[in-house]
Structure 1
Amino acid sequence: MEREVEVEPGVHLWVQDLPAFSASPAAHAFPALHAVAHRAAEPVLLIADADRPGPAWPDALVDLLRARHRVIRYDHRDTGRSTHAYDEHPYDLADLAGDAVTVLDACDVGRAHVVGMGLGGTLAQLLLLDHPDRLAGAALLGSTALEGTDDPPLPRPARDVLRMWQEMTDPRDERGELAWRVEYRRRLHGDGLPFDGLEIRTLEQDLIAHAGRSDALAVHAQADPEGLDRGDELPGITVPTLVVEAPEDPVHPPPHAEHLAARIGPAAHLVRIPGMGHALPSSVLEPLAELLIDHAASAEGALRR
């Protein structure tokens, strides 16, 4: 089911709300599902990275999660089919966390598991701090901790990634934009796993078709980061939080994930997916889905207790 959700006057988000499969071959892939499939599971809300629309979450991952969960994904403001009007409706990055709550309200979801990638992981941290009653659990992928005092020095993004960030808004025709996106995704992928250029090209073509436009997306870099300096509050989080370390991540390389988990403290569980970068290639989807489903089942068990 697709719908439009108004987050402020004149600003609408595209939302896709998909039910759990009543029976799925994916259930046989994960032993944990046999123990929990008969229980009602909380929905999963997927929060995408900066300037990425909802369908950037691969369909194959969504289908794996639907073996147990209703799954909701959506386009951030100024991405995909959502309203593109930053100049008329400017916002802070922190406002995008409020958008996620509005999506849950519109879908009549009282409590959900949130899964955030990159900027989505930053927004999930804000939800953990401000709306813990709406979260059954959280998973943070390719993310770093909200800024706090006495943070240790952490590695900066790789130089080639920083260079490509400077090129994001360069004028390109659709063919050039597609080629640029594939190369950018190759850099984000890292060197730990084989890179399937055709897979990424197909995904980016689908995202262009979804949006109905091929212009470069770099609006979120213009949004004010005010309100993201709340790292000192992270130890107060009590919602079970999975922190996924991607050892080949060129944006937030180790030890960013370790630092994030340490800042959260006892509520956090740190896991590593070998070879993973700042990307979701098909080779990591099954292990990632299994981690997310196991974590969700464990978090729901803790809620019942």
Structure 2
Amino acid sequence: MDIEVAPGVTVWAESVGAGEPLLLVMGANTSSAAWPAELVERLAEHHRVLRYDHRDTGRSTHAFDERPYAIADLAADAVAVLDAFGVDRAHAVGMSLGGTLVQLLLADHPDRLRSATVFCTAALSGWGSVELPGPDPALLRMWGEFTDERTLEQELDWRVEHWRLLHGTGLEFDAEWFRALEERVMAHSGREDNPAAHAVADPSGLERDLSATTLPVLVIEAPEDPVNPPPHAAHLASTIAGAELVRVEGLGHALAPALVPELAATILKHTLRVTTL
């Protein structure tokens, strides 16, 4: 389904499964095709899973230069996806930038959520109260190469090395699995270039106070995350009223196939508990 979110701008979305709706919100410069198929399938055994491509990723409109937007606008896109599927309230699961967007939904559209799960992300408030580490310098160097010109094989090699850094060192890295993932991502979008619009989108106006949130929130700690390493998750949980903090050993800033069953079970334990309330 193509959903118009602004004049001349659409985002692509799909719905699979049945049950209480669950919205998957992916990270920056990454399409919905990056969600592992096994994770989507496990969640869809209990939920109607909605996933979508952010602007400038996947099958959505790629037109940032002509129609620039702010990061906050991407949260409004998530609401537009719910509207398009006729969903009043959904469980929301956000990774990385997706976790930022889910926090914005918690603050600005709490009436549209049943629960929230966030991981590999940073808090929207309280940075002055604790000293938190930044991303691995090796990642910062790679991020400076996002838009460099590369052949198809060079691009795939670059993306696999990017995933290797994001993956962390807690588990053995499966280079072939991540290469196949990126081939599916390219096939899904029909493009070989590396999207980077979110890196230059306006990041202002994101701070929110979630200390009075009444919705059930799960924060999953990724101990191997080189982007938002510990204690980011613990700090994030401390800024959200009643948030539960759960650690998934070995999890980095990448959805390693070996961890998909545990990650799915952790998410479902949270959402299904809320469903029965």
C-alpha contact 2:26 2:96 (8 A) present in aligned 1: yes
Of residues 171, 192, 200, the one that matches 1:214 is: 192
Write the distance in 2 (CA, Å) between the matches of 1:254 and 1:66: 30
Q: Deviations over 1:16-45 (max 9, x none)?
A: 11123xxxxxxxxxxxxxxxxxxxx41110
- Name which of 2, 6, 11 aligns with 1:8: 6
Q: Which residue of 2 aligns with 1:247?
A: 223
**TM-score normalised by structure 2 residue count:** 0.98
- Per-residue deviation, residues 277-296 of structure 1 (Å, max 9, x unmatched): 00101111111111111100
Match of 1:273 in 2: 248
Q: Which runs of 4+ in 1 moved over 4 A?
A: none
| Runs of 5+ unmatched residues, structure 1 | 21-40
Q: 2:174 aligns with which of 162, 173, 196?
A: 196
| Cα distance in 2, alignment partners of residues 9 and 81 from structure 1 | 17
Structure 1 residue 301: Cα displacement: 2.7
Q: Residues of 1 paired with 2:128 and 2:176: CA distance? A: 44
Aligned counterpart, 1:257: 233
Tell me the distance in 2 between the aligned counterparts of 1:150 and 1:201: 39
Q: SS of 1:234's equivalent?
A: coil
2:129 alignment partner, SS class: coil
CA RMSD of aligned residues (A): 1.0
1:72 aligns with 2:50: yes
Q: 1:65, CA displacement in angstroms?
A: 0.5
1:293 aligns with 2:268: yes
> What SS does the corresponding residue of 1:94 show, helix, strand or coil?
helix
Look up the SS of the partner of 2:92 in the other structure: strand
One-letter code of the match for 1:246?
A: A
Larger Rg: 1
Question: What's 2:17 paired with?
Answer: 19
SS state at 1:236 partner: coil
Q: Report the alpha carbon displacement of residue 10 of structure 1 after superposing the two structures with TM.
A: 0.3
Partner of 1:165: 143
Shift of 1:147: 3.7
1:171-203 Cα deviation digits (max 9, x unpaired): 111111110000000000000011111100000
Q: Deviations over 1:56-88 (max 9, x none)?
A: 111110000011111111000000110000011
Q: CA deviation at 1:149?
A: 5.9
Gaps of 5+ in 2: none
- Structure 1 residue 300, shift from structure 2 partner: 2.1
In structure 2, the residue corresponding to 1:86 is in which secondary structure?
coil
Percent identity between the aligned chains?
54
**TM-score normalised by the chain length of structure 1:** 0.89
Report 1:95-110 matches (<5 A): 95-110=73-88
Contact 1:42 1:136 in 2 (8 A): no
* Aligned amino acid, residue 25 of structure 2: I
